[in-house]
Chain A
Amino acid sequence: MVLVYGGNFGPPEFGGGDGANQWDSCFELLSASSRVIVYDKPGMGWTEAPKRDADYSMAFVVSHLISLLEALDCGPVGLVGHSRGGYIATRATLLRQDLVRSLTVINSGTLSPGVGTNAVALADVAHQGDQRAAIRWSLETYVYSPTSVDTSWVDTNIVLLDAPGHLEAVERIEAGNLLLDRFYPELARDKRETLTWLAEGRLQRPTQIVWGRDDRTAPVGLGRELFEGLAGHEPRTRFDVIDACGHFPYREHPEWFVSCLTSFLEEVARDGG
């Protein structure tokens, strides 16, 4: 299975600075029964930054994932995407169904119809004190229980802020106003098209929607709406919701998440994909 985390390139003020380390809470548990691949997206973590201004778009991040799946050459995968990664995984599936056996989307306001509430919940993150305090505040806002934000999560995110790919992406984005000029408008256009494709029933793969019920940034109603839209077309669609959980079910309830995902993948395997 291939896991796609959330966030995008750019300064932390605009959601930048995450990496594949987000999955460390469930990586080992999942790898007990599957081959698990996590990766850093372009201009994030230890992956290089896009070299052309035109590539500071979600479309580029989607094509990067498709290239990765082609390079892995391991047959159709169980694709799992969280938050922005849920959109990326879904868009990649719509474009290349031959590469995907099943799709799991976790707390993705980016993919859902309607509007996420990041802009409000996380407003002014840059002004919550020093870099460490700002990262901790942001993660604590995302989760249900602040105790689920462990020091190693914060530490790794701070290290990633100095990664060369992240720094180069931030520099290019700030020089060319690439998020406001390019990334957001193109994402809005592509999202519209993606939702149209979903409404047309083009997503013809078993799909699982997983949601933390207490997410302040992507309320559970968005997940329900997404599920109901998909369930009308694809009978092998399920919706798994956990209480006392914010934006990161796989960090706040890792064992529940792993059991949920594993049972879905077993169902898909039993069904013959």
Chain B
Amino acid sequence: MAAELRETWVETAAGGLRALEAGDGPAVVLLHGSGTRGGPLPGPADLWRPLAGRLSGEHRVVALDLPGVGGSAADEPRRLSSAGAIEAVGEVLTKLGLGDAHLVAHDEAGLAALEATRSDPRIVSCTLIAPAAIIPAGDRQMNLALINRPKPHLARRSLVWTARRLVGDELCLDADLFDLLEREANSPHSRVVMEMRAGARAQIELTEARALTALYARVRDEGVTVPVAIIWGVRDPLSSFERAMLLHTLLSGGACPPSIHAMARCGHLPHLEAPAACAAIIRGQVRAGVPSPSHVVGEALA
């Protein structure tokens, strides 16, 4: 289902932010992964189209290009960190007049999203999709899933190779998607940002490691304070369902019980692989305003 998304620009002191927007109703803000640390695939807001299309009937959906990605500017390395992402979300909520908002974050954007649930009272729920990058990893265990990615990594062949290994079912991959990934990976803006990220790599890594540590301490001691749902594809090659359950345990114990939803056929991109099931869970998050108990969602929803 294709969403009729319109492009919106939000001006900030750190440069313009690009967002795609559709629908009316409670605000749902979608945050892509692969922004902060330069993940395996480029992550512009356009990747949310299949999910946004299923939500825009009842919600005002805003898919944001985080700073440095797609059309959004990043004037300094700090803007590429999760702190920069939190700032950007705050600016978009204010300038678009969204009021209270439900965050949906893919992979590493989960760090910014969870932190925003504490720092920004306008965030009323948080859905984490395939949050592999924020699962406690002990001594940073090796993951070999993408160890032999064909070079150059920005070439279409390499992007296709990577996308195929990330998903549980290749049916969601098509030429339009590969066009989008290739265009984004090779845009002049992406190349400038990539150089900036490379120059500040050590600093960004240390900042993000500390932000993750601070998040672990907070949720360990306080749990989470808004409804949080984890959506996990059992075939995600970047971590395991067992590890995802550990993240769920870590987030548990506070006033607001979080839920986890496992999808048997999905890999690392459930919002592309099973957008209907993801939309159903997000609608539940929005409607209830209170978390649902942990359970496993079968394929019936997909």
Which A residues have a C-beta under 8 Å from some C-beta of B?
A: 109-110, 115-121, 123-124, 127, 177, 180-181, 184-185, 187-189, 191-192
Q: A123-B217, A123-B220 are in contact. Are A185 and B140 (CB under 8 A)?
A: yes
B176 interfacial by beta-carbon distance below 8 Å: no
Contact of B139 among A121, A127, A181, A187 (CB under 8 A): A187
Whether B206 pairs with A180 at a CB distance below 8 angstroms is: yes
Q: Name the one of B202, B214, B217, B246 contacting A181, with C-beta atoms under 8 angstroms.
A: B202
- Determine if B216 and A192 form an interchain contact, defined as CB atoms under 8 angstroms apart: no
Q: In the bound complex, what is the Cα–Cα distance between A177 and B204 (angstroms)? A: 11
B38 to chain A, nearest CB (A): 15
With A123-B220, A177-B202 already in contact, the answer to whether A115 and B213 are too (CB < 8 A) is no
Residues of chain B touching chain A, judged by Cβ–Cβ distance below 8 Å, are 136-142, 202, 205-206, 209, 212-217, 220, 243, 246, 250
Q: Determine whether the beta carbon of B216 is less than 8 Å from that of A109.
A: no
Q: How far is the CB of B121 from chain A (nearest CB, A)?
A: 23
Closest to B243 in A: A115
Tell me the dominant secondary structure on chain B's binding face.
helix
Instruction: Report Cα–Cα, A115/B137, bound state, in Å.
Output: 6
Residue of B nearest to A8 (CB): B139
Task: Find chain B residues with CB under 8 A from A117 CB.
Answer: 136, 138, 246
Minimum distance in angstroms from B199 CB to a CB of chain A: 14
Q: A119-B216, A120-B216, A124-B213 are contacts. A189–B136 as well, Cβ < 8 Å?
A: no
- Between-chain CB contacts (< 8 Å), 9 pairs: A115-B139, A115-B243, A115-B246, A120-B136, A123-B214, A124-B213, A124-B216, A191-B139, A191-B141
Complex alpha-carbon distance, A91 and B214, angstroms: 32
Contact B205 A180 (CB under 8 A): yes
The residue on B at minimum CB distance from A185 is: B140
Contacts of A120 in B (CB 8 A): 136, 216, 220, 250
Residues of A within 8 A of B217 (CB): 123-124, 127
Contacting residues, chain A, for B214 (C-beta < 8 A): 123-124
Which residues from A are CB-within-8-Å of B213? 119, 123-124
Contact A119/B202 with A124-B217, A180-B209, A192-B142 known, Cβ cut-off 8 Å: no
Is A115 in contact with B205, judged by CB distance below 8 angstroms?
no
Contacts of A185 in B (CB 8 A): 140
The 3 closest A-B pairs by CB, nearest first: A124-B217, A115-B138, A123-B217
Instruction: Decide if B216 touches A180 in the complex (CB within 8 Å).
Output: no
Contacts of B212 on A, CB cut-off 8 Å? 119
Whole-angstrom CA separation of A72 from B142 in the bound complex: 35
Query: What residues of chain A lie closer than 8 Å to B136, measured between beta carbons?
Result: 115, 117, 119-120
On chain B, the residues within 8 Å of A121 by CB distance are: 220
Task: State the CA gap A116–B220 with chains docked (Å).
Answer: 15
Chain B residues within an 8 Å CB radius of A191: 139, 141
Question: Is A184's CB under 8 angstroms from B216's CB?
Answer: no
Could you say which residues of chain B place their CB within 8 Å of the CB of A192?
Answer: 142
Q: Which residue of A lies closest to B144 (CB)?
A: A192
Tell me the minimal C-beta distance from A248 to chain B in angstroms. Answer: 19
A187 CA to B206 CA, complexed, in Å: 18
User: Which of the listed residues B137, B138, B243, B246 has the most CB atoms from chain A within 10 Å of its own CB?
Assistant: B138
Question: Is B142 within 8 A of A188, CB to CB?
Answer: yes
Residues from chain B with Cβ under 8 Å of A116 in the complex: 138-139
Shortest beta-carbon distance from B296 to chain A in Å: 22
Known pairs A116-B138, A180-B209, A188-B141; list 20 more (Cβ under 8 Å).
A115-B137, A115-B138, A115-B139, A115-B243, A117-B138, A119-B136, A119-B216, A123-B215, A123-B217, A123-B220, A124-B213, A177-B206, A180-B205, A180-B206, A184-B139, A187-B139, A187-B140, A188-B139, A188-B142, A191-B141
Bound-state Cα–Cα, A181 to B205, Å: 9
B243 to chain A: which residues have CB within 8 Å? 115
What residues on B are CB-neighbors of A181 within 8 Å? 202
C-alpha spacing A62/B246, complex, angstroms: 31
Residues of B within 8 A of A127 (CB): 217
- Looking at the complex, which one of A119, A180, A187 makes contact with B137 (CB distance below 8 Å)? A119
Q: How far is the CA of A27 from the CA of B220 in the complex (A)?
A: 35
Q: How far is the CA of A192 from the CA of B140 in the complex (A)?
A: 11
Report Cα–Cα, A117/B217, bound state, in Å.
Answer: 12
CA distance A110 to B141 in the complex (A): 10
Provide the bound-state CA to CA distance between A61 and B212, in Å: 28
Bound state CA distance, A227 and B216, in angstroms?
Answer: 29
Which of B142, B202, B220 sits near A189, CB closer than 8 Å?
Answer: B142
B220 touches A188 (CB 8 A): no
